[in-house]
Structure 1
Amino acid sequence: MAEVEIRAASKAFKKTQAVIDLSLTVGDGEFVALLGPTGAGKTTTLRLIAGLEMPDCGSIRIGGRDVTGNAPADRDIAFVFQQYSLYPHLSVFENMAFALRAPIRRVPEGEIRAKVREVARLLHIETKLENKATQLSGGQMQRVAIGRALVRSPAIYLMDEPLSSLDAKLRGEMRLELKRIQTDLGATILYVTHDQTEAMTMASRIGVIEGGRLLQIGTPREIYENPINAHVAARLGQPAINLLPAALFAGAPAGARTVGARTEHLTIACGVGDVQATVKRIEHLGDQSHLHLDLGGQSVVTLSDPEARLGAGDIVSLRLNKPLFFDADGGRVAA
């Protein structure tokens, strides 16, 4: 594995700026996730590192070597795409061995067999090696696609939303598997996703990207607890952070126009609270309930005890506990 660095890279497609002055370093053995909505510039960033796109300005360095002008084959990267992209006429074994048999590598056949079987065991598909790709389930095909990358030992693995086409249960299982494998192999991974749960549970650092700009990068806890602005705050947290007019609350700091209240910032008070809200509906989720409230015409979602005897139309008192504050432009304001 090796450190990978993007230095002030920008990329435009005609009049659309896909990536703007982006700088990012992925350390040796680190798992970094780029989190953002569709069109934020996540995939373009991966393609710049892979050499599938050339930056308009800036540079790409892998292992301390400037590879900005190098062809993809000369960059020592492995790319896992959103779609499986398997060869349907080949077996699972042949699909996974394909990259190792490329003329530029010429790995001995005995070493290929040992490596493929080792990775297949890690991915729990060792019994499927003789199956054709078309005989597999969606989850198994995605494991093969990941395995095809893992059989190599590149400088970095680039993963473009590889779990997005799986169902929720399988996606949860694959998150655990992929993180376990990354830890076991000491692999360097740059992982693109729009799913905050994937980013929070797998990555050692998260980069929040929007409109081609990297807004903030840090550990999942840092991004969650200390977002640089309201947009970053809204990317993490389930239910999503409540962004409310500061005028609804007393004691907001100077310059604050918006209060950011996550569920842990809102407590249902037994007595008198800071504000009162009306219950609109309750979502019962087993161990907890989502309480949907109307607070001065603003929608608020928080958590409540599933045993609480509340119903639509009830009035509850809310107490704020160390919320976040933002100015008129969405920038963070110190409490």
Structure 2
Amino acid sequence: MAEVTLSNVSKAFGKTQAVSDISMTIGDGEFVVLLGPTGAGKTTTLRLISGLEKLDAGSVHIGGRDVGQDTPAQRDVAMVFQQYSLYPHLTVRDNLAFPLRSPILKTPEDEIARKVHEIAEVLQIPHKLDNKATELSGGEMQRVSIGRALVRDPSIYLMDEPLSSLDAKLRADLRVELKRIQAELGSTLLYVTHDQVEAMTMANKIGVLEEGRLVQFGTPKEIYEDPVSVYVASRLGLPRINILPSGLFPGAHKGAQIGLRPENIRQGDGVEARVVRAEHLGDQTRLHLDVQGHAITTLTDPHRTYSSDAMIRISPQNPLYFDAQGARVA
């Protein structure tokens, strides 16, 4: 594995600036997630690291070496795509072995057999090795697709939303599994997603992208608790953070807008709020409120019941403040 460094990386497609002046370091053995909506520049960044796209400006270093002039094969990266990308006529064993049989790697057959068995054990699919790819479930196919990357020992694994086409349960299962595999192998991994749950549960570091710019880079805890803007604050947390005019609550305030995570709203005193509805989710209740025409979501005791149009009082606790343009006010 190796450290990967991006320095002032930019890429445009015609008049569209896909990536703009991105600088970040993916440490050796780190699991880094790039988070942002469609069009934020996540996949383009991945493709620039892999060599599938050429840089307009800046540099990419892998293991301390400038790879700007290297082909994808010379960069020693392994990519996993959103779609399964398996050979349907081959068995699981041969699909896993395929990258190792490339003329560049020239891996001996006994070494191929060892690596394939090792990765099949890690992925918990050794009993499927002789099945054709077409005989697998969607989750098993994606495991094999991930396994095709894992059999190699590249400098970095690059994964482009590999779980997004799976159903919710499989996604949750493979999230846990992928993090376990990465920790076991000590791999350097860059993972692209728009799913905040994937980012929060898997990453050592998260890079938040907005319109091709890296607007914040840090641990999930840092980004959740100390976001630099309304945009970043809104990327993490379910239910989403409440962004409200500061004047909605009495007292002195540091910014034009106040940001309240659902868990940072105290009941019992403060401004009057009308209960719109209560969602009972077993371990918690989400309370949807209206305060002077502003919608607010908070969390409350799952054992307490609320009737629609009931009036309660709420007040801010540990609020975040933002200026009128959405930038964080310290």
Please classify the TM superposition score into its range, dividing by the shorter chain length. Answer: over 0.9
Aligned to 2:261: 262
Instruction: Please tell me whether the aligned partners of residues 249 and 315 of structure 2 are also in contact (alpha carbons under 8 angstroms).
Output: no
Q: 1:252 to 1:149 in 2, by over 3 A?
A: farther
The answer for unaligned runs of 5 or more in structure 1 is none
Does residue 5 (structure 1) correspond to residue 1 (structure 2)? The answer is: no
Opposite residue 322 of structure 1, the aligned amino acid is N
How far off its partner does 1:105 sit? 0.7
Cα offsets for 1:58-90 (capped at 9, x unmatched): 111100000011110100000000110111111
Cα offsets for 1:141-182 (capped at 9, x unmatched): 000000000000000000001111111111111111111111
Opposite residue 283 of structure 1, the aligned amino acid is E
Alignment partners' CA distance in 2, 1:252 and 1:151 = 58
Alignment partners' CA distance in 2, 1:126 and 1:222 = 39
How far off its partner does 1:247 sit? 1.2
How far off its partner does 1:249 sit? 1.2
Aligned to 1:163: 163
Alignment partners' CA distance in 2, 1:252 and 1:46 = 45
Alignment partners' CA distance in 1, 2:290 and 2:317 = 19
Q: 1:316 aligns with which of 312, 317, 325?
A: 312
Aligned to 1:14: 14
Aligned to 1:329: 325
Aligned to 2:49: 49
How far off its partner does 1:333 sit? 1.0
Q: Could you say what the CA RMSD is over the residues aligned between the two structures, in angstroms? A: 0.8
Opposite residue 51 of structure 1, the aligned amino acid is G
Aligned to 1:299: 295
Instruction: Please tell me whether the aligned partners of residues 7 and 58 of structure 2 are also in contact (alpha carbons under 8 angstroms).
Output: yes
The size of the alignment, in residue pairs, is 330
Opposite residue 314 of structure 1, the aligned amino acid is A
Q: 1:43 to 1:252 in 2, by over 3 A?
A: farther
Instruction: Please tell me whether the aligned partners of residues 246 and 253 of structure 2 are also in contact (alpha carbons under 8 angstroms).
Output: no
Aligned to 1:84: 84
Alignment partners' CA distance in 1, 2:272 and 2:70 = 62
SS in 2 for 1:328: coil
Aligned identity (percent) is 62
How far off its partner does 1:252 sit? 4.0
Does residue 275 (structure 1) correspond to residue 279 (structure 2)? The answer is: no
SS in 2 for 1:152: coil
Alignment partners' CA distance in 2, 1:264 and 1:303 = 6
Alignment partners' CA distance in 1, 2:164 and 2:305 = 38
Aligned to 1:224: 224
Alignment partners' CA distance in 2, 1:23 and 1:171 = 30
Aligned to 1:64: 64
Q: Which moved more, 1:44-53 or 1:160-169?
A: 160-169
Cα offsets for 1:167-222 (capped at 9, x unmatched): 11111111111111111110000000111111111110011101000000100100
Alignment partners' CA distance in 2, 1:309 and 1:206 = 37
The answer for unaligned runs of 5 or more in structure 2 is none
Alignment partners' CA distance in 1, 2:160 and 2:252 = 41
Opposite residue 147 of structure 1, the aligned amino acid is G
Alignment partners' CA distance in 2, 1:70 and 1:307 = 60
How far off its partner does 1:293 sit? 0.6
Does residue 133 (structure 1) correspond to residue 133 (structure 2)? The answer is: yes
SS in 2 for 1:107: coil
How far off its partner does 1:253 sit? 2.8
SS in 2 for 1:307: coil
TM norm structure 2: 0.99
Alignment partners' CA distance in 1, 2:267 and 2:166 = 37
How far off its partner does 1:24 sit? 1.3
Q: Which moved more, 1:148-157 or 1:273-282?
A: 273-282
TM norm structure 1: 0.97
How far off its partner does 1:286 sit? 0.8
Opposite residue 43 of structure 2, the aligned amino acid is T
How far off its partner does 1:309 sit? 2.6
